[in-house]
Structure 1
């Protein structure tokens, strides 16, 4: 490694930490926005923040932002929906959704890195489809599992309850995609080209 590349790496690391911290704080703020509950699950803008972090920062920094958010919540800071905190949130009915944030952030970020770097003409469409696939294969099953194991519901009831969140989640993902596309146009090197 040359002295120049070592200096460049040191210069990038603080920016990465800043991005991670800012997006973790954004997710926390969106989680605390006024919410209403459908059964045991509060509806917040938290999922918008997770998608936005992943789509803007890519797989590793997006995952780090979500992990920081989850970590400080589990450690006791009241950053989860409704100002809740602690490990009990992960063990309760919404724990599956919180756990899915970690996996979905990585997968959405990976999709963003691939799609944005290829400079796809239909980047927004491809990113939106990626968020829908992640919702279908990660968030839906893990969220339902949390409702079953942490909330005492049956599988059928859990999947039916989860379906009520789909329209809002699709809208939040669409807005996150549009914002992320605009961010990448303004900051084309954000994903580390």
Structure 2
């Protein structure tokens, strides 16, 4: 892996961290899992970097968080975040970014906007929610239906993030065609 790839991975990890600075919303229905902007960064990591590097950028962020850096929304960090109700979502970011990148790679014949919509929905919603639901069932001791219902409160905001990621992907492609060069 070259220095350019390492730089891009680091920049996307930093972007996800910066999105954690935006205000969070806590809903009692979701077992204490906050609504954050950081999933937008996870979606963009897969869209912009592709599967492998997108997942690596999320892994880098989570490693730094595990070491104690308060980079998650609300200034959270340290190993404790991986034992909280949100742990399934956090760990789900890794396969979420990977799947987002895989879908983007597979949809090379589809315009970037539509490909990014499908990719962000598949990785950023389906995969991350699947992991989040399992995490709520294990850590918060919720039943499957209760965990699914609790997770559903995130859907409207995440659909907005899916649309935003598609607009950002299209804008990146128009401004700098090589930004999504792995799709060619």
**TM-score of the superposition, structure 2-length normalised?**
0.89
The answer to whether residue 143 in structure 2 is matched with residue 154 in structure 1 is: yes
> Structure 2 residue aligned with 1:77, among 51, 63, 69?
69
User: 1:38: which partner in 2?
Assistant: 27
Q: Which moved more, 1:129-138 or 1:100-109?
A: 129-138
The answer to whether residue 100 in structure 2 is matched with residue 111 in structure 1 is: no
Superimposed CA distance per residue, residues 45-64 of structure 1 (whole angstroms, 9 cap, x where no aligned partner): 00011111111111122111
Whole-Å separation in 2 of the counterparts to 1:49 and 1:133: 15
Shift of 1:136: 5.2
Q: Where do residues 16-165 of structure 1 align in structure 2 (5 Å cutoff)? A: 16-39=5-28, 40-115=32-107, 117-118=108-109, 120=110, 122-135=111-124, 137-165=126-154
SS of residue paired to 2:41: helix
Whole-Å separation in 1 of the counterparts to 2:82 and 2:76: 11
The answer to whether residue 160 in structure 2 is matched with residue 171 in structure 1 is: yes
Shift of 1:15: 1.6
Is the Cα contact below 8 Å between 2:27 and 2:34 reproduced in 1? Answer: yes
Is the Cα contact below 8 Å between 1:32 and 1:44 reproduced in 2? Answer: no
Shift of 1:152: 2.4
**TM-score of the superposition, structure 1-length normalised?**
0.85
- Cα gap change, 1:182/1:114 in structure 2, threshold over 3 Å: closer, same or farther? farther
Is the Cα contact below 8 Å between 1:56 and 1:184 reproduced in 2? Answer: no
Unpaired segments ≥5 residues, structure 1: 1-8
Shift of 1:127: 2.4
- Larger Rg: 1 or 2? 1
> Structure 2 residue aligned with 1:187, among 170, 176, 184?
176
Is the Cα contact below 8 Å between 2:14 and 2:61 reproduced in 1? Answer: yes
Unpaired segments ≥5 residues, structure 2: none
